[in-house]
Structure 1
Amino acid sequence: MTTQINITANRRRRHWSGRAQAGRVLWGLCQPLFRFSPRPLWAWRVWLLRLFGAKIGREVHIYPTARITIPWNLHIEDQAAVGDNAILYALGPIHIGPRATVSQLAHLCAGSHDWRDPARPLLRPAIVIGPDAWVCADAFVGPGVVIRAGAILAARGVALHDLPARHIGQGNPMITRPMDD
């Protein structure tokens, strides 16, 4: 019985500071300004994300239907793109390198829970998408994964471990192979 009480007490522990909770509420209120903006208003969406603490480079294209959970955990470098209905679940940091592409419906999940602890505390491991990498349509990138420079995670692929540079990862479980030059 004591164990159950401790688990319950741990589950009530706050994962977010008051400031972070307020920021999440404000971002939620501003999301319609992002989501319903006309497609060509790239600069507007970038400005809005920067207003909420995102670090975003030049000539970045983020489509209006992309869903971004916590913008201040987002760093997108020059000439990168985030496609329609992509999900950037940025509980932890997400870094998208220069000229990288996150295609439509792709899901980057920088958050999980420690399954070994009965209280299931929140974990926020970073995701890194390297320069010139491509996360194809409907692919999933798990917490703590690095997609290295020039790598491709094929459509519907699931990356639960790192993808080496200039390799293609496909399937679930992910199978990797070097790119043919």
Structure 2
Amino acid sequence: METAVLRSDLSKFNTGDYKSGPKAKVIIWYLINYFIFNSSLPWPYALKVKLLRGFGARVGNGLVIKTNVRIKNPWRLSIGKNCWIGESVWIDNLADVNMGDNVCLSQGSMLLTGNHNYSHTDFTYRLGSIHIEDGVWIGAKSIVCPGVICKSHSILTVNSVACKNMDPWNIYSGNPASPVRERKMYR
């Protein structure tokens, strides 16, 4: 007797539990994101903060947000005080992204709150919030995967991928990232 073999069928894809938001809000945000945030023009930080707050993001004072930044859903974003978001950062927040105070997202880093469930034939989304605690530095071209907690003052080095929680005051490197040493501060 022959057993049926299940295969991926992308024609049956659905977003599962993910709902982006009201269509008009999503379309307006898409345009603002494209022309202001994901632009090479150096729009004032204050304007970007005002727009983020206007679309439901919680943003502390002192945000530095550079050019060519993409943010999927600002209504699922919380940013603490004195944070830096570098050029070409992508916050793909299908689920919540919460950043503490004094967090640095370096150039080209990505926060990915969703991926696909490869064990289902319809390839639905799997979502997981990202929590980045105070003093964390996400290095250039690094990726934080869904459901990861980057604990206080941890560092993810250049071009690394955090698939699991990062312990406080530790430096992580590689793909998948693993701890390489303790972070120490001197001043």
Give yes or no for the alignment of 1:30 onto 2:32: yes
Gap runs ≥5 in structure 2: none
Code of the aligned partner of 1:115: Y
Residues 38-53 of structure 1 aligned to structure 2 (within 5 Å)? 38-39=41-42, 41-53=44-56
Give yes or no for the alignment of 1:114 onto 2:117: yes
Q: 1-side partners of 2:164 and 2:21: how far apart?
A: 32
Q: 1-side partners of 2:109 and 2:15: how far apart?
A: 31
- Pick from 99, 102, 105 the counterpart of residue 102 of structure 1: 105
- Pick from 167, 183, 186 the counterpart of residue 164 of structure 1: 167
- Pick from 64, 68, 72 the counterpart of residue 67 of structure 2: 64
Give yes or no for the alignment of 1:78 onto 2:91: no
Assess, with a 3 A threshold, how the Cα gap between structure 1 residues 86 and 176 changes in structure 2: closer, same or farther: same
Code of the aligned partner of 1:136: G
Gap runs ≥5 in structure 1: none
| Other-structure match for 1:21 | 23
Count of equivalent residues: 177
| Larger helix proportion of the pair | 1
| TM-score computed with the length of structure 1 as normaliser | 0.87
Deviation at 1:20, TM superposition (A): 3.4
| Other-structure match for 1:139 | 142
**Are the equivalent residues in 1 in contact too, given 2:137–2:153 (CA < 8 A)?**
yes
Q: 1-side partners of 2:58 and 2:82: how far apart?
A: 13
What is the root-mean-square deviation of aligned Cα atoms in Å? Answer: 2.4
Task: Report SS of the residue matched to 1:128.
Answer: strand
Assess, with a 3 A threshold, how the Cα gap between structure 1 residues 17 and 137 changes in structure 2: closer, same or farther: closer
Q: 2-side partners of 1:117 and 1:48: how far apart?
A: 38
| Other-structure match for 1:11 | 13
Percent of aligned pairs with the same amino acid: 25
**Are the equivalent residues in 2 in contact too, given 1:93–1:124 (CA < 8 A)?**
no
Code of the aligned partner of 1:33: I
| Other-structure match for 2:129 | 126
Deviation at 1:118, TM superposition (A): 1.8
**Are the equivalent residues in 1 in contact too, given 2:14–2:125 (CA < 8 A)?**
no
Deviation at 1:9, TM superposition (A): 8.4
**Are the equivalent residues in 2 in contact too, given 1:54–1:72 (CA < 8 A)?**
yes
Assess, with a 3 A threshold, how the Cα gap between structure 1 residues 126 and 180 changes in structure 2: closer, same or farther: closer
Assess, with a 3 A threshold, how the Cα gap between structure 1 residues 157 and 19 changes in structure 2: closer, same or farther: closer
- Pick from 87, 93, 96 the counterpart of residue 93 of structure 1: 96
**Are the equivalent residues in 1 in contact too, given 2:106–2:139 (CA < 8 A)?**
yes
Ranked by relative contact order (alpha carbons within 8 Å, sequence separation 6 or more), the top structure is 2
Code of the aligned partner of 1:85: S
Q: 2-side partners of 1:153 and 1:18: how far apart?
A: 29
